[in-house]
Amino acid sequence: MRFEILTLFPGMFHSPFQESILAKAIEKGLIEIRIINIRDFATDKHQVVDDAPYGGGQGMVMKVEPISRVIEQIKSKDPSAWTIYLTPEGKPLKQERVKELSLRSHLILLCGRYEGVDERVRELFVDEEISIGDYVLTGGELAAMVLIDAVSRLLPGVLGSDRSAMEDSFSDSLLEYPQYTRPANFRGHEVPEVLLSGNHQAISLWRRREALKRTWMRRPDLLKKAELSEEDKKFLEEISKQMSLNGDNSHKR
């Protein structure tokens, strides 16, 4: 997988990609990340990449010419490269879309700044607009890092075990079950006995039910998209009845 990041602040990306799983993936050649300074594609002496908006208003707007040059240069070598503009106005990034993007081989990530990009960038050069949440950042750089991390970990060989990604939260529209490690007893708080039993069937059932319970309590909206068996539905009904009897409405927060 190749990522090309278009930014006005390339220095922001140096440290994140030199650590942990992404650094190892780059070293193994599983992913390639190229950071491109948009200013290098400005043709004037001062490398101007922004200007005041037509019609007046606060702030500056990123100019279309430098952005068009860099995207056209990349696509002249690989027309299949998919251009994503990171913006609060984009569609929310969900795990389902992350999976779809992981099937592509070449992503161009455009990091907006200031008041955003000239609208003609969106009309002519952007294939998709993505937001990582309903809030505003100073630029698209942090959002690009999030997208690269989310997509990369789904690529074969990036994680220590490909099964790890399959069991992540949201992978099947459920939150992940609780995890424990040594010690078995910490200040009176013990690891559930079933996890120490060695009974893999019982452990699998416990994890499924805990995932269902956690999702029901924290993100019940996700259950609408989850593929639930009759046994799952019966278990959720039992939880609902039990919580109602106990007067526990915490799942509604």
pLDDT in tens, 185-237: 999 999 999 999 999 999 999 999 999 999 999 999 999 999 999 999 999 99
Distance CA 170, CA 223 (A): 10
**141's tokens:** 């750089």
The catalytic position among 167, 168, 176, 232 is 168
**14's tokens:** 């140096």
Q: Is 156 among the residues known to form the active site?
A: no
- Both 96 and 146 in one domain: the answer is yes
- Both 18 and 69 in one domain: the answer is yes
Domain residues for the domain of 205 are 185-252
Q: Is 190 among the residues known to form the active site?
A: no
In a domain, 128, yes or no: yes
In a domain, 180, yes or no: no
- Both 100 and 49 in one domain: the answer is yes
Q: Is 192 among the residues known to form the active site?
A: no
In a domain, 248, yes or no: yes
Q: Is 208 among the residues known to form the active site?
A: no
- Both 189 and 223 in one domain: the answer is yes
The catalytic position among 65, 115, 129, 232 is 115
The pLDDT tens digits for 127-171 are: 999 999 999 999 999 999 999 999 999 999 999 766 566 666 666
The catalytic position among 53, 88, 167, 207 is 88
In sequence order, what are the residues at sequence separation of 6 or more whose Cβ sits closer than 8 angstroms to the Cβ of residue 190? 184
- Both 7 and 120 in one domain: the answer is yes
- Both 189 and 133 in one domain: the answer is no
Asked if 154 and 161 count as a contact pair (C-beta separation under 8 A), the reply is no
Pairing between β-strand 106-111 and β-strand 185-186 as defined by DSSP bridges: unpaired
